[in-house]
Amino acid sequence: MVQELLDKIGSLTIVQAAELVKAMEDKFGISAAAPVAVAAVAAPAAGGAAAEEKTEFNVVLEGFSGDKKVDAIKKVREITNLPLMDAKKLVEGGTGVLKEGASKEEAEKIKKEIEALGGKIALK
């Protein structure tokens, strides 16, 4: 049963996965961001050594509150190669991964472009 769930979750689109996370947060009264933050703080302390500089980043949309929604949807489509409706849902939902494994330069460029359109971006 667990493997079946993992297989189904693995086949979700980015937008569907974001919707699943939001639904789970609402139903169970939890936040998916909290464990990530705890893990990020605990990891350097556990290693004891200086952390290496990160070379790959996930660009995550954490909110959108601009009046340039159409331009933001176009930009999200360009970045993610999502169909129009999925890009629209991603922007309107305000959360989701836009790009995984981006270089620092590419991640910063995407962040600057989306923030100029009213989006809130986190690099993880």
CATH number reported for the structural domain that contains residue 66 in this entry: 3.30.1390.10
Q: Which two tokens stand for residue 65?
A: 């509150």
Do the Cβ atoms of 32 and 21 come closer than 8 Å?
yes
pTM strictly above 0.95: no
Number of structural domains (the chain) is 1
Give the bridge partners for 56, in sequence order.
103
Domain holding 30, by residue range, is 2-123
Sheet of 96-103: strands edge to edge?
96-103, 56-64, 119-123
- One digit per residue, the tens of pLDDT, for the chain of length 124 reads 888 877 888 787 887 877 888 888 778 777 665 444 444 445 555 554 445 678 889 999 988 887 888 998 999 999 989 899 988 888 888 888 988 888 999 999 999 998 998 889 998 8
Nearest to 92 by CA among 100, 84, 102: 84
The letter for the amino acid at 41 is V
Give the bridge partners for 121, in sequence order.
61
Nearest to 65 by CA among 112, 19, 14, 121: 121
